[in-house]
Amino acid sequence: MKWIYLLMALAGGLAVGVQAVTNGGLGKKVGTLEASLISFSVGTAALFFIVLFFGKGNLLAISEAPKGQLIGGLLGAFYVIIMVMTVPKLGVSSALFAVIAGQIIMGAIIDHFGLFGGERIALDLKKMVAIVLMMGSIYLFNHK
């Protein structure tokens, strides 16, 4: 059953690749911040209808959520702005390579310290070497 979630994550990654190039192109036409606003507005409209027709949760429970958990939307906006700015300059693959590296580094830090209520998973030498190799591969990938 775990493979279904891996395939879902893969599909999400494929979608992020397409999102990067479409948002980057939109940014060239309308501007960086404007493209980011348009992207979030279209996503918000889509989510509104998905929640309206398929939602099973309770939106009113937001008042009970820790306020720090609301930062996800800000971080998503930051990500979209960064991608709109970097994809036209670096290309999709280079920008995504750097994003993935950032995600893995932050994930390793979160796991190591058990941040945000997560389980502590130690950052050992093997994982540190893997991160260093990944950074080297980013260099090689972008070096001319």
Token pair 């609301």: residue: 70
Check residue 94 and give its pLDDT. 92
Find out whether 92 and 15 touch, Cβ atoms under 8 Å. Answer: no
Check residue 2 and give its pLDDT. 86
23: domain range? 2-142
Which structure tokens are listed for 35?
């493209």
Low-confidence stretches of the chain (pLDDT beneath 50):
none
Check residue 144 and give its pLDDT. 83
Q: How many CA atoms lie within 13 A of 136 on its CB side?
A: 6
The count of structural domains within the chain is: 1
Which structure tokens are listed for 9?
């994550």
Check residue 38 and give its pLDDT. 97
Amino acid at 78: F
Check residue 22 and give its pLDDT. 95
Whole-prediction pTM value? Answer: 0.83
